[in-house]
Amino acid sequence: MIAVVAIAACWGFVLPKLAQLQSVRDRIDRFEQAGINPSAVFYTDHPKMAEIERRIDSVVNSEQSSFWGQ
């Protein structure tokens, strides 16, 4: 019962108060402007992730890549 009350207090009081802090508000706004969903479970949920993965793969697999000591 104590754990449930503690979680409810954090969720219903502490977290909303933290969201009102200017530094937290700035970060939330920056994420929204970038199209980042902070509630996404995996980074692959981001719509641009396929493009980013292709770019990383091309760097890793290039002949000049320093990833493999070439």
Global confidence as pTM: 0.46
| Overall average pLDDT of the 3-17 stretch | 93
Burial letters for 41-65: b for 16+ Cβ neighbours within 10 Å, e otherwise? eeeeeeeeeeeeeeeeeeeeeeeee
25-61: pLDDT as tens digits? 998 899 889 888 777 767 766 778 888 888 888 877 7
